[in-house]
Structure 1
Amino acid sequence: MRIALLEDEHEQAHNIQSILSERGHVCDTFANGQAFLGAVLHRSYDLMILDWQIPDMSGIDVLTNVRAQLNWPLPAIFLTQRDTEEDIVQALDAGADDYLAKPARAAELVARINALARRSNPESEQSLLRYGPFEVNTHQRSIVLHGEPLNLTDKDFDLTLFLFQNQGRLLTRDMLLERVWGLGRDINTRTVDTHMSRLRRRLGLNPENGFRIKTIYQRGYRLEAVKPSSTTELMTDTVANA
């Protein structure tokens, strides 16, 4: 997972980053709210960990801004020295998914992150997934559209599944390279763009099938659910009434 950590104490941030890195996660650390918001709103993260007391704004204000501006529910854990019942209730009411008091115990922090990841993506444990007219079989690694199997490569399947599981979410090229291809960040390659162009054609990602891949200039891609065009709806109604 790629995790964004808001923590202004250098030693604390380093310890948490080390704990997460040892478990295979990528953790970017930020010492103030503005830098954190700039990253979370313009990059792709799977989860965020927030301190409450930071120099330029409170962790609650940061979370409120993320919830107001991000168009998908990025999981959030508070990790802070404030541990009264009122504090916990305020954080949860502001949109936090979990709450831990400092100092963080490594095993518990990792377990909470893993549990939250499972809750935020329950589809990961299902073998047959449906997205409009698309039927995705994760065991057979196959995709059917309107009852017809699609001819996809293994990488096409991996990319398609990742797009469907993250529909509505901005996915940067770096994140796609990491999660689908297993490549490091900041690699200069057009692999992602080439595959996206091909998937648009092979999957029929258009309003008639209820989805489209939107290119976000200089940032990445987002799979969006869209309503069929009025022309398509009229044709469907005409056939149904014939």
Structure 2
Amino acid sequence: MRIAVLDDDQSQTDLVCQVLTSSGHICHAFQSGKEILNQLRRENYDMLILDWQVPDLSGAEVLHWVRFKLPPTVPVLFMTSRSGEDDIVAGLAAGADDYMIKPIRRGELVARVQALLRRAYPIQNASEQISFGDYVFETRSSRLTLSGAQIEVTQKEFDLALLFFRNLGRPLSRAYILEAVWSRDVDIPSRTMDTHVSRVRSKLQLRPENGFRLAPVYSYGYRLEQLTG
């Protein structure tokens, strides 16, 4: 999962990102409220971890913007050095899903992050069979069928197709797709992603006559749309 971390203390973001990276996530650190907001306007993240007190904008102000502009399902974990009940209630009332009091403990951080991600994205932790209409993804075997007929795909094509279906209607940036599907191998040629997207579109028959359209988003990335009517 792709997680954005906001804290003006670099040693704190270094610790959080090191813990999250070792748990298999991709972590992006920010030191100011304006910096993270600028990035949130351009990029997608699966989860946010926000410190309460940061320069120029408070974590609460960032959270207010997030709840107004981003999908309500994006989980937010508040980090704070304030341990008073009123402060904790205020953070949760502002829209945070959970909170942690500093100093951060590694095991607790991993447990809370995993719990929030399970709650926000239950599909990834459900049974090995995930259905989207006539498309069925079997995650353990990487087997994909359409109306009962198997579609021969590579592992990367399977991962890419599942990523699009899990984010149906949501524009995904090229950077997000690269990190989600190719993980740390983000230096792959740009045409590699385009080739895989083209293969997924063709193999899965993602055409308007079948109710779907996998289309480029100009100067950004791709979006899988479900058509109605």
TMscore range, shorter length: 0.7 to 0.9
Residue 37 of structure 1, CA deviation:
1.2
User: In the comparison of the two structures, how many residue pairs are matched?
Assistant: 228
User: CA distance change for structure 1 residues 224 and 70 in 2, over 3 Å: closer, same or farther?
Assistant: farther
Partners of 1:14 and 1:98 in 2: CA distance = 21
Counterpart amino acid of residue 33 in structure 1: G
Q: Which runs of 5+ in 1 are unaligned?
A: 229-242
Partner of 1:7: 7
User: CA distance change for structure 1 residues 110 and 91 in 2, over 3 Å: closer, same or farther?
Assistant: same
Q: Which moved more, 1:109-118 or 1:67-76?
A: 67-76
Residue 72 of structure 1, CA deviation:
6.0
User: CA distance change for structure 1 residues 155 and 25 in 2, over 3 Å: closer, same or farther?
Assistant: closer
Partner of 1:150: 151
Partners of 2:15 and 2:170 in 1: CA distance = 29
SS of match in other structure, 2:41: helix
Partner of 1:127: 128
Q: If the length of structure 2 is used for normalisation, what is the TM-score?
A: 0.87
Partners of 1:217 and 1:72 in 2: CA distance = 25
Partner of 1:235: none
Residue 105 of structure 1, CA deviation:
1.0
Residue 5 of structure 1, CA deviation:
0.8
Q: Which runs of 5+ in 2 are unaligned?
A: none
1:135-174 counterparts in 2 under 5 A?
135-174=136-175
Preserved CA contact (<8 Å) 1:132 1:210: no
Residue 211 of structure 1, CA deviation:
2.9
Q: If the length of structure 1 is used for normalisation, what is the TM-score?
A: 0.82
SS of match in other structure, 1:42: coil
1:161-200 counterparts in 2 under 5 A?
161-200=162-201
* Structure whose alpha-carbon radius of gyration is higher: 1
Partner of 2:111: 111
User: CA distance change for structure 1 residues 28 and 199 in 2, over 3 Å: closer, same or farther?
Assistant: same
1:7-156 counterparts in 2 under 5 A?
7-71=7-71, 73-124=73-124, 125-156=126-157
User: CA distance change for structure 1 residues 215 and 70 in 2, over 3 Å: closer, same or farther?
Assistant: farther
Partners of 1:163 and 1:43 in 2: CA distance = 16
Partners of 2:228 and 2:188 in 1: CA distance = 36
User: CA distance change for structure 1 residues 210 and 73 in 2, over 3 Å: closer, same or farther?
Assistant: farther
Partners of 1:55 and 1:142 in 2: CA distance = 48
Deviations 1:189-232 (A, max 9, x none): 3111111122222212234433322322222222233313xxxx
Percent of aligned pairs with the same amino acid: 45
